[in-house]
Amino acid sequence: MGLDRREVLKLVAGSSLAALAPAFARAQTVGGGSGYRATVMLFLYGGNDANNMIVPTDARHADYARLRGDALAIPQGSLTPLTGTNFGLNPAMSDLASIWDQGALSWVLNTGPLLQPLTREQYSNSPSLRPANLFSHDAQQNLWQTAGAQSELTTGWLGRIGDRYVDAGVRNPSISLAGSQRSLIGDRNSPILISGNNLSLYGFSPTDTSTRTTTRRAAFDAMLAGTQGSRLADITAAIMQGDLDAGAVLNDVINGSGSIVDANFLDANGNDVNSSLATQLKRVARLIEGRDRLSATRQTFVVSTGGFDNHRDQVGSAATNGTHAGLLNNVARCAHGFWNVMKALGMDADVTLFTMSDFNRVFEGNGSRGSDHAWGSHHFVVGGGLNGSQLLGRYPELALGGPDDARDDGRWIPAVSVEEYGGALARWLGVSDADMPYVFPNWSNWNGGGRGPIPLFA
């Protein structure tokens, strides 16, 4: 029993091969205006301690300092003020304050996976209402990326947005610069994954048309085209074929000359930014710069940075330096650099960058100058299309065992669900009311009754 090659290609339709097939001009039927729009998800792997990212500067700071402990607490005077609010930023993230002041950044406070709106009492008395496998890295990463709450979903909410694009004939080559990410996997589309610079096949120069080379290529292609012994192998071979086809186009976009990206990827002080995350975001920027060559009208990107799982020694000689501060500094400078490029490209209103992470960390420090796994967390969103400079959601009441604490050490029960956060982005990307339940399986729990997408956009 074999699988017809065309059937295989249909199965992976929307993956790299189909996404870059010769451009076709179908009317865009997914709503939300015309032109190009893209979201960039920045995943902070390991569980970012958002408690030290944005901190109240009013009377609550005393509670903050007491509960976190001397090792972790950032002194009030060290925080970078967030204009017009009672909050300050970790000084390592001062670059974000500059974007905030330009009206192109908002904060979403205490957000995370939820099955339905949840109180401390419900959490304690009704375990069936809790999301699955709280406090576990990969389970919570999956819940953030799939919006499954209690179900193990194999597709992600960005991937399911992509399914709707595929259904509507919208060109949506989703791209991960961060390896395989469940968030971008849909039933009818899957992401192009780019992890390095090298997208050319050794031994096959495009200008070499000698018989020696063309016959070798013909043999290479014949090996690739063969029918395999299993469905797994047939699909894998089709993916390989698709990636080779896509790479030929992408190579030029990512590595070609004439890009303005590198020159404009600057932090708030005008300095170049170089890190793995910066490299990923520069490639995203180049892909946006070259969007017409991919014939893309809607795109979803994923980038990531890791190292946030600091059970010990997350701070250095002071809470304002050390491992965590270094990680946040890179994130903020990269966000600034990316924002700066989007402005230079004139794409700032059409591109939105947002963060996700496994979970927040326990508010109470753990005695090893680190912090352990918790739940509801704070995130930021950058883009010219935002109704910017907003604090959305609700900052938790800083009391161990208080109404916002799932346990007794500061594991915040989210005030905003992944659906409400992601829903705002989905709507901006053009997902209709009718399609929201497809993208977010638990949408009925978040639609109405005072709940729904948070008002991120103007």
Site for other proteins, residues 219 to 238, rule: CB under 8 A: 219-220, 222-224, 226-233, 235-238
Residue 185 CB, nearest distance to other proteins (Å)?
A: 6
Strand partners, 272: 266
Among 312, 313, 437, 458, binds other proteins (CB under 8 A): 312
Separation CA 124–CA 132 (nearest Å): 14
Burial-class residue 57 by CB neighbours within 10 Å (0-12, 13-18, 19+). Answer: middle
| Subset of residues 317 to 376 that bind other proteins, contact rule: CB under 8 A | 366-368, 372-373
Separation CA 161–CA 36 (nearest Å): 15
Residue 254 CB, nearest distance to other proteins (Å)?
A: 10
Residue-by-residue DSSP string for 62-108:
HHHHHHH-TTTPPPGGGSEE-TTSSEEE-GGGHHHHHHHHTT-EEEE
57 or 236: whose CB is closer to other proteins? 236
**11 contributes a contact to other proteins by CB under 8 A:** yes
**171 contributes a contact to other proteins by CB under 8 A:** no
Whether 47 contacts 274, CB under 8 Å: no
Whether 361 contacts 52, CB under 8 Å: no
Contacts of 417 (CB under 8 A, 6+ apart): 111, 112, 113, 114, 117, 445, 446, 451
Which one of the spans 27-35, 81-89, 179-187, 440-448 is the region binding other proteins (CB under 8 A)? 179-187
Residue 70 CB, nearest distance to other proteins (Å)?
A: 15
Residue closest to 430 by CA, chosen among 185, 144, 156, 165:
165
Residue 193 CB, nearest distance to other proteins (Å)?
A: 3
CA distances to 67, 204, 266 from 367, rounded to whole Å, are 12, 58, 38
Token pair 């005030």 in the structure block, residue: 415
| Subset of residues 103 to 162 that bind other proteins, contact rule: CB under 8 A | 132-139, 150-152, 154
11 or 344: whose CB is closer to other proteins? 11
Count of C-beta atoms within a 10 Å radius of residue 211: 8
Residue 251 CB, nearest distance to other proteins (Å)?
A: 9
56 or 186: whose CB is closer to other proteins? 186
Task: Identify the sign of the CA torsion 336, 253, 238, 17.
Answer: positive
213 or 274: whose CB is closer to other proteins? 213
- Total of residues contacting other proteins (CB under 8 A): 78
66 or 312: whose CB is closer to other proteins? 312
Residue 158 CB, nearest distance to other proteins (Å)?
A: 14
Count of C-beta atoms within a 10 Å radius of residue 77: 8
Contact string 192-211 vs other proteins (x = CB under 8 A) = xxxxxxxxxxxx-------x
198 or 269: whose CB is closer to other proteins? 198
**12 contributes a contact to other proteins by CB under 8 A:** yes
| Subset of residues 271 to 310 that bind other proteins, contact rule: CB under 8 A | 306, 309
55 or 114: whose CB is closer to other proteins? 114
Residue closest to 38 by CA, chosen among 423, 421, 419, 348:
348
